[in-house]
């Protein structure tokens, strides 16, 4: 049956076993990748965008026709541009110039207003740090006040993690035929990890949740951020306290370098035909490492977070 709008087809993405990738490395176990880059906005953030806006509508904190504002690395902004466009809310995306240009162009094409914020002194294009994000946050807060807008607030709004609890977790569990023993995810807002792990642990209390961070900025694991700049866009901002992780058990931490994420996502494209982005490479690299160690013989779920099409201007595919 045909959907009433593009918003209605967010979620229910397919999952694929990465058996070729695992076998080629002589590992025992399996990795299940949920292809969230096949969402309408080409990323997992479509789920959170829909969750936040629909929760705000239900709570009447978002008024009809009110402007919506949010900071974004591009993926949440794309999801919000789609959801807000269909539902009749003007949307303003505030993004660092350090993110790939494809993201801004896609949001503009979908009808969003895009405000680009200069990076902090010493930052490099393609490497968005916590300092860069702080500048984006300040601008998003200013625009929200000036326009009396609704702030989507993906780092704090409960609709983010709830969307993954209600959709991502049960989908992954069903797609694995109830076989998952672990879940690994690169931390951005923490909403995907927090919501998905909470839902999966209700299915299997022994399932282990692993947080993935960039090498040199693993502050969630309790380490100092000595290299805050990295190419894995959409997360790893060296923010030590994320709301969505407070009431969720984290069973382990892994770090992945930009080079390892890059090499893994290229291997994923060539060996599995999955054309994804940097954070997907980080997730799969972490899962492969888990199969080499504590999860050998297990079944690990990961998210293919966004499309490789969003990185054509970066060195990911150079």
Structural element, H or E, at residue 6 = none
Structural element, H or E, at residue 280 = helix 278-292
Q: CA angle, corner 89, sides to 83 and 92, nearest 5?
A: 85
Eight-class DSSP state of 43: B
Q: Between the CA of residue 37 and those of 15, 33, 134, 178, 253, what are the distances in Å?
A: 11, 11, 27, 23, 24
Q: Between the CA of residue 285 and those of 2, 31, 100, 111, 279, what are the distances in Å?
A: 37, 11, 22, 35, 10
d(CA 163, CA 153): 14
CB 309 within 8 A of CB 276: no
146: how many CB neighbours lie within 10 A of its CB? 9
Q: Which of 7, 19, 117, 40 is nearest to 72 (CA)?
A: 117
CB 95 within 8 A of CB 123: no
Among the options 15, 73, 189, 279, which is catalytic? 279
Q: Is residue 179 flagged as an active site residue? A: no
Structural element, H or E, at residue 225 = none
Q: CA angle, corner 132, sides to 127 and 137, nearest 5?
A: 135
Q: Is residue 44 flagged as an active site residue? A: no
d(CA 143, CA 149): 8
Among the options 34, 43, 44, 45, which is catalytic? 45
Question: Which sequence positions are flagged as catalytic?
Answer: 45, 279
């Amino acid at each position: 049956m045909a959907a009433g709008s593009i918003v209605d087809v967010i979620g229910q993405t397919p999952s694929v076993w990465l058996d070729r990738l695992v076998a080629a490395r002589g590992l025992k176990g399996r990795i299940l990748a949920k292809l969230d880059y096949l969402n309408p906005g080409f990323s997992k953030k479509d789920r959170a965008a829909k969750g936040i806006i629909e929760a705000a509508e239900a709570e009447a904190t978002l008024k009809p026709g009110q402007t919506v504002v949010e900071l974004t690395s591009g993926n949440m902004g794309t999801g919000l541009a789609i959801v807000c466009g269909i539902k009749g809310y003007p949307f303003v995306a505030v993004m660092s110039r350090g993110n790939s240009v494809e993201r801004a162009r896609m949001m503009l094409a979908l009808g969003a207003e895009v405000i680009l914020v200069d990076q902090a002194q010493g930052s490099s294009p393609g490497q968005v740090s916590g300092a860069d994000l702080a500048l984006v946050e300040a601008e998003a807060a200013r625009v929200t006040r000036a326009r009396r807008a609704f702030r989507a607030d993906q780092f704090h709004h409960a609709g983010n993690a709830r969307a993954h609890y209600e959709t991502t977790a049960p989908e992954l569990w069903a797609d694995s035929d109830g076989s998952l023993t672990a879940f690994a995810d690169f931390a951005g807002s923490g909403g995907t990890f927090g919501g998905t792990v909470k839902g999966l642990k209700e299915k299997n209390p022994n399932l282990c949740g692993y947080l993935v961070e960039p090498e040199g900025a693993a502050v969630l694991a309790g380490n100092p951020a000595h290299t805050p700049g990295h190419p894995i866009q959409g997360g790893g901002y060296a923010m030590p306290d994320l709301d969505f992780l407070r009431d969720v058990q984290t069973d382990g931490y892994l770090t992945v370098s930009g080079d390892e994420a890059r090499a893994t996502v290229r291997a994923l494209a060539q060996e599995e035909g999955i054309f994804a982005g940097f954070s997907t490479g980080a997730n799969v690299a972490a899962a492969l490492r888990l199969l080499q160690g504590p999860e050998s013989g297990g079944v690990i779920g990961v998210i293919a977070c966004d499309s490789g099409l969003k990185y054509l201007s970066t060195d990911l595919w150079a």
